[in-house]
Structure 1
Amino acid sequence: MEIKIVENEQQLQDAYSVRYEVFIHEQSVPEELEIDDLEKEAIHFVGYEGKTPVAASRIRLVDGYGKMERICIVKPSRGKGYGKELLLFMEQIAQEKGMKKSKLNAQTQAEAFYRKLGYETISSEFMDAGIPHVTMTKVL
């Protein structure tokens, strides 16, 4: 997979297409919750297999944290290590932007995945868009 920091409208639309497929179509997240008013302040990422977008995410720099958000891989491309590859790339960019810690709200079904990558759970379970989540942090 080739990961790109979004630099143009086509790459942004590619990232949104992955997010739509995973969150809106697969997980039934309402569109108005998925695409929000924080898009403009975020650094967006898109991952490609050849010319096909298969992964997406964004980072916001909030309160000294790199806030890792909207991390997703399309179903046919899961199990190839792309989630780890994308998150490590995001962490590198957060560090380059001066962040010492990262934070994310993980779906509970992905909590073990993030734990293996050094994240610690710091909250009790809560619901977001009808899906159970926990907040997790990592020192970069």
Structure 2
Amino acid sequence: MTDYIQVQEISAVETYPLRHEVMWPNMPMDYIVLPNDEQGIHFGLFSNDTLIAVASLYIENNIAQFRKLATAIPEQGKGYGSQLLSHLIAYAKDKKVYKIWCNARTDKKEFYLKFGLEVTNIVFRKHEIDYVVMEKIIIPQK
């Protein structure tokens, strides 16, 4: 049986359980709520009507940041995160966004490189996890 995969816009609140379970399970639920969630565009990837991956996109001044890309732990490594990130990049391009970027956990850097994101020289540490800012120019400015 083939899975029916669909990406659609969802509410910020619908992203919270996966964000929490995958990214910060040892922190309180409030920890994964972003102050600007109401301004974001939130996406869910569904397999046979089950939400298995989420990500949030924040567009400001023609630049998009994606945050909280999370795939359910039993579903990781099956390409769902890749499908969702491809959707985000296509969505941003359709919205005429110049650049898309993220704060990538350094142990996930190779994943983002596959999508044309490049490592910047901005690195930081948060709660014992190392991050690097990665970005991709989507539509070159004239």
In 2, the alpha carbon distance for the partners of 1:18 and 1:80 equals 16
Aligned to 2:51: 53
Aligned to 1:114: 112
Deviation at 1:12, TM superposition (A): 4.3
Calculate the TM-score normalised by the size of structure 2: 0.85
* Deviation digits for residues 40-83 of structure 1 (CA, Å, limit 9, x no counterpart): 00000111121221100100013431111111101111111111
- CA distance in structure 2 between the partners assigned to 1:55 and 1:73 by the alignment: 4
Listed as ranges, the matches of 1:59-78 within 5 Å are 59-78=57-76
* TM-score, normalization by structure 1: 0.86
Whole-angstrom CA distance in 1 between matches of 2:27 and 2:133: 19
1:99 match: secondary structure: coil
C-alpha root-mean-square deviation of aligned residues, in Å? 1.7
Radius of gyration: which is bigger? 2
Determine which of 123, 130, 133 is the counterpart of 2:131. Answer: 133
Instruction: Mark the runs of 5 or more structure 2 residues left unpaired by the alignment.
Output: none
Tell me, yes or no, if structure 1 residue 5 matches structure 2 residue 3: no
Q: Distance in 2 between matches of 1:127 and 1:3?
A: 31
Larger helix proportion of the pair? 1
- Structure 2: how far apart are the matches of 1:81 and 1:15? 19
Is residue 123 of structure 1 aligned with residue 127 of structure 2?
no
- Measured in 1, the distance between the counterparts of 2:28 and 2:105 equals 16
Q: 1:79 aligns with which of 73, 77, 102?
A: 77
Partner Cα distance (1:60, 1:124) in 2:
19
1:68·1:104 contact (CA, 8 Å) conserved in 2? yes
Q: Secondary structure at the match of 2:31?
A: helix
Q: How does 1:83-94 map to 2 (within 5 A)?
A: 83-94=81-92
